[in-house]
Amino acid sequence: MDELRELYQEVILDHNKKPRNFHALPEPARKSEGYNPLCGDRLTIYLHVKGDVIADVAFQGSGCAIFKASASMMTSALKGKTLMDAQVLFERFHRVVSGQGTAEELETLGSLRAFAGVSEFPARVKCATLAWHTLKAGLENKQTAISTE
């Protein structure tokens, strides 16, 4: 039960219940789509980039708690960040949820530290990273839908 509490932390359950930035952005925002065929998680990320700054980012979609909380907290964390910051955060987040992160990296994640518990649940790493992969594709302007398979 301890590992489950570690996974389903209050902050994650809260973001699952009340996702932030959970809406579409009007044109000319970029759109990118992500899908996890394993459990049916599906989302659209809307991105508004000004120069090299993420001016606004939002999402819509449905899926499990880990997925939804991750998308919600990612959008909260990235608003106003530079593209370079976003890239660095993505790499650190990815290492932490897959159990490869260092203690220092964990420290710099801020509220995203809540996802460290995911590393004990290998089957759920994809749920935590789907929004991030989809965002990355949006930033790189890839047209095809991102799948975790």
Size of the site for other proteins (CB under 8 A): 23
Amino acid identity, position 91: E
In the complex with other proteins, the residue whose CB is nearer, 3 or 91, is 3
Binding track over 36-55 against other proteins, x by CB under 8 A: --xxxxx-------------
Q: Under DSSP, is residue 50 helix (H, G, I), strand (E, B) or coil?
A: strand
Sign of CA dihedral 101, 146, 38, 15: positive
Binds other proteins by CB under 8 A, chosen from 127, 128, 130, 139 = 127
Q: Residue 3's Cα: distance from chain center in Å? A: 21
Q: Does 65 bind other proteins (CB under 8 A)?
A: yes
Residue 33 in the binding site for other proteins (CB under 8 A): no
Is residue 99 a contact residue for other proteins (CB under 8 A)? no
Of 53 and 121, which CB lies nearer to other proteins in the complex structure?
Answer: 121
Q: How far is the CB of 94 from other proteins (least distance, A)?
A: 20
CA dihedral 116, 111, 30, 32 (to 10 degrees): 20
17 near other proteins (CB under 8 A): yes
- How far is it, in rounded angstroms, from Cα 119 to Cα 122? 6
| Nearer residue to other proteins within complex by CB, 7 or 54 | 7
Buried b / exposed e along 54-67 (16+ C-beta atoms within 10 A): bebbbbbbebbbbb
Q: What is the DSSP letter of 42?
A: E
Q: Tell me which residues touch other proteins (CB under 8 A).
A: 1, 3-4, 7-8, 13, 16-17, 38-42, 62-67, 121, 123-124, 127
